Amino acid sequence: MSDAPLRPEVSGDPAFPQNPAAARPAGSMARPTVEFMMAHPAHFIAMGLGSGLGRIAPGTVGTLWAWLSYLLLQQWFTPQQIGLLIAGSLPLGWWACTVTARHMRVADPGNLVWDEIVAFWLVLWLVMPTGFWGQCIAFALFRFFDAVKPQPVKWADRLFKGFGWRGGWGIMFDDLVAAFCTLLVIALWRHFMG
């Protein structure tokens, strides 16, 4: 599928800018709308099927959506099938985030939450089965690493910046590192306390 907009670009239209080269020039989109999200399949995916449209803490809302959707996925799919879904969601998210960031003219928009969704799916996939409190701890750890960005998440967040495929991968990459850090803490906790 082409990453070109579904409708012709119009000068001054923040939904489909003509020159996405600058990080946040005049006319860039501060907060996407439902119309923008529905205008292109990449927008819909990158914004977590709508979970990223919130004004407050879209990353947290996207992570909560990931948690709920994972619990539903477990009802119909085996762990192996969920693993394949996660593996397929990585390149899909890379594409969707690349296209959506370019259309928004923002290098790493906070409303793009597919990165949180896939990364938290990965966390849950590797820590399950665990009870509600174990899932809460996984959620809290992941949100800490994703929002506060201690090292090495800070390093990962700065590694791939800009527009195009490099920037799209960067949007995904720091959340994967946050997932790795979450899993490492949980593994150490289980090793020393179990």
Question: Tens of pLDDT along 1-60?
Answer: 334 443 333 334 444 444 444 344 445 666 899 999 999 999 999 999 999 998 899 999
Query: pLDDT over 90 for what percent of the chain?
Result: 78
Q: What is the pLDDT of residue 25?
A: 46
pLDDT above 60: residue 150: yes
Q: What is the pLDDT of residue 28?
A: 62
Average pLDDT over residues 105-119: 95
Q: What is the pLDDT of residue 185?
A: 98
DSSP for the chain reads ---S-SS---TT-TTS-S-TTSSS-TT--SS--HHHHHTSHHHHHHTGGGGGG-SS-HHHHHHHHHHHHHHHHHHHS-HHHHHHHHHHHHHHHHHHHHHHHHHHT-SS-TT--HHHHHHHHHHHHHH-S--HHHHHHHHHHHHHHHHH--TTHHHHHHHS-SSHHHHHHHHHHHHHHHHHHHHHHHHHHHHHH-
